[in-house]
Amino acid sequence: KQEVTQIPAALSVPEGENLVLNCSFTDSAIYNLQWFRQDPGKGLTSLLLIQSSQREQTSGRLNASLDKSSGRSTLYIAASQPGDSATYLCAVSAETSGSRLTFGEGTQLTVNP
Amino acid sequence: DAGVIQSPRHEVTEMGQEVTLRCKPISGHDYLFWYRQTMMRGLELLIYFNNNVPIDDSGMPEDRFSAKMPNASFSTLKIQPSEPRDSAVYFCASSLWGGIGIETQYFGPGTRLLVL
């Protein structure tokens, strides 16, 4: 059974700092890995999707990397802003889980002005 | 497009009552997913449909839960009878025909359910 773990559970940083969020998964036979953002009381917004054959994806100040063999992904946020404050969730789609998305519990990020 | 639409946004009911949650996916999306999010268990997939047909309902917690998709633009998740432990945020999501292993899923705003 696929398990997804995110570290840290919560992170508070001053504005302007670069930061890294971590995600690990137990089953490396994945189709893809996605990073989502969830604002309080809202649904999830997909930020980046990395196919199993890719190593990284970039969108603006966000960069996500994937090391499938070690079961790890990182989300790098450059020059953080207060508007980046949210919960970030990692999710994987793996063959052994019937192609369903398995989510981590998220990292709650607070960027202080 | 207005995105995935869910109703109601909030629901408070008493134990034993029937609850029906509704979802309208993004037009043209062939896949529809129902998730439940709780503090204890995080975000869990309950069931998903492809072209209105249920594909995997192994996440449905018990027989009190049922889901239908009578057409491409509407789905319901029903809980009968409801119990306090069903209190959670229920999300609906949809994606294009490429399949859930490939395509991004677009989430609705969720329905916050409280069963007293």
- CB atoms A45 and B56 under 8 Å: no
With beta carbons under 8 A apart, name residues in chain A contacting B90.
none
Query: Looking at residues B74-103, what average pLDDT do you find?
Result: 87
pLDDT of residue B104: 81
Q: Is the pLDDT of residue B7 over 90?
A: yes
**What was the pLDDT predicted at B62?**
86
Question: For B107, which of A32, A44, A93 is closest by C-beta distance?
Answer: A44
**Cα A39 versus chain centre, distance:** 14
pLDDT tens, residue by residue, B44-72: 999 999 999 998 898 898 899 999 999 99
Do A93 and B100 count as a contact with CB atoms less than 8 A apart? yes
Backbone angles phi, psi at B84, to 5 degrees: -55, -35
> pLDDT averaged over consecutive 10-residue blocks of chain A (113 residues)?
92 96 93 92 90 92 96 97 97 73 94 96
Query: Nearest by CB to A43, which of B48, B101, B108?
Result: B108
B103 has a pLDDT exceeding 80: no
Strands (E), chain A: 4-7, 10-14, 19-25, 30-38, 44-51, 56-59, 62-67, 72-77, 86-94, 101-103, 107-112
**Where does the pLDDT of residue B2 fall: very low under 50, low under 70, confident under 90, or very high at 90 and above?**
confident
Inter-chain contact A101–B59, Cβ cutoff 8 Å? no
Structure-derived torsion over alpha carbons of residues B28, A48, A10, B87, reported in degrees to the nearest 10: 10
At residue B26, the 3 state secondary structure works out as: coil
Put simply, the answer to whether B101 touches A99 (Cβ < 8 Å) is yes
Q: Supply the DSSP string of A58-86, one letter for each residue.
A: EETTEEEEEETTTTEEEEEE-S--GGG-E
pLDDT band at B1; cut points 50, 70, 90: low
CB contact under 8 A, B93 and A44: yes
Q: How many CB atoms lie within 10 A of CB B29?
A: 19
In total, the C-beta contacts within 8 angstroms joining chain A to chain B are 52
Testing the interface with B: which of A6, A44, A46, A95 to mutate, by most B Cβ within 10 A? A44
